[in-house]
A and B are shown apart, each in its own frame.
Chain A
């Protein structure tokens, strides 16, 4: 499973990074960085939570 950020839609709310700190973080500039596009099976729940909390639906999971 991979986590994909639609960069045109992402506005940097950062709720996803709070939900999935293994996978995503806001850098010092306030821009979202994907730490790991590949989602390890142990992080699947975090990845799903990250997608759920994005207010502008800028994240999605792909098999």
Chain B
């Protein structure tokens, strides 16, 4: 048997400003060093190659989520009982509550309303000609849709986005950024705990959680963690996908022409945005037993960063991975994770993304963007501002 010391060790810091601004060179070093590497700074391992990340996510019996998906003990303890930090059978009961409202079948009835909202948001922005693609477009859209679907009372809605951002960042390694984010995660949970079920819109996704508890499908103490899953996972991810799409289409106008000429490419285009700029950079798993990772022996108890964003640019999997190609249709990308914990809201996220791209494709001939302001978050990659001007499609008589 080989010893774990044969897993390559890299003294890397993944959380400096420079790396969080451009993590891709470090991801390439991790991929090239081996199928799994040791990062002594975090006393954790990392997988960066597509095949290994995908196989690890599929094998939940060997790679558990139940000890938390973050890099610090405080967040891993605070997230106990949240669906992201569970294994079966507990996971499956919680997942059923989300899937009953978020599965493609369940959201079919939302399609017309979401498409209408996309048109109503995009039309005045295009007439205006100049806007911030992050605040005015990418944030405005999911916030209005998702918070209505959850059925949240108006009071507190203005704080939800900041809490969601912090809830992700709180799972970084011990240090000042985690220390700053953690109290906001606690504020989010306190806010959600303060909401009485009858304050949630009847028939909403949030109300359905409390109904499931009342019906005995889940435990009462699972309600707030499930609410947290909705308000954390439902925002930043979609926001970043939409703003990243604008950036990529501004810089690749010939790709925008392809989408405008053939709107059936929109699902492929959204997948390509998610592949090349995955909002979630990583979540962790913990090995429940000794695991063979492509010939390297990973010891039981090892915490492993599953680098989704690296896997989605792995040159072993993708041809010319840094090329943005709306015809690639990378439907098996890992931006939503994969397997049992694969994003429960991906149907809704896709519906939102498709609706926005379709509304833009009908109206915008060219995007021009100024210098983006990057939002620094330890788990999520995205923009804080993207000054955008658009040239509208010529009016047809």
Residues of A at the B interface (CB closer than 8 Å) are: 8-9, 11-15, 29-31, 52-53, 55-57
Contacts and interface: CB of A to CB of B under 8 A. Distances in A.
Contacts of A55: 336, 338, 342-343, 346
B103 interface: yes
Contact of B104 (A8, A9, A30, A53): A30
B332 to A, nearest CB: 5
Given A13-B347, A15-B331, A56 B105 contact: no
B257 interface: no
Nearest to B100: A11
A13 to B, nearest CB: 6
B390 to A, nearest CB: 32
A12 B331 contact: no
A55 B336 CA distance: 8
A7 to B, nearest CB: 12
Contact of A13 (B58, B92, B104): B104
Contacts, number: 39
B48 to A, nearest CB: 20
Given A11-B99, A15-B331, A52-B332, A30 B105 contact: yes
A57 B342 contact: yes
A45 to B, nearest CB: 15
Interface of B: 58, 92, 99, 103-105, 108, 331-332, 336, 338-340, 342-344, 346-347
A29 B342 contact: no
Given A52-B332, A53-B331, A57-B58, A9 B340 contact: yes
B339 A56 contact: yes
Contacts of B92: 8
B100 to A, nearest CB: 10
Given A53-B331, A53-B332, A57-B58, A14 B104 contact: yes
A15 B346 CA distance: 13
A52 B329 CA distance: 13
B340 A29 contact: no
B104 A11 contact: yes
Nearest to A13: B104
A42 B391 CA distance: 49
A56 B103 CA distance: 12
Contacts of A29: 105
A29 B29 CA distance: 47
19 contacts: A8-B92, A11-B103, A11-B104, A11-B105, A11-B347, A12-B103, A13-B104, A13-B346, A13-B347, A14-B104, A29-B105, A30-B103, A30-B105, A53-B332, A55-B338, A56-B340, A57-B58, A57-B338, A57-B342
A8 B92 CA distance: 9
Nearest to A19: B331
Contacts of B342: 55-57
Contacts of B336: 55
A20 B331 CA distance: 14
A4 to B, nearest CB: 15
B41 to A, nearest CB: 32
Contacts of A57: 58, 338-340, 342
Nearest to B344: A11
A13 B338 CA distance: 13
A9 B338 CA distance: 12
A31 B106 CA distance: 11
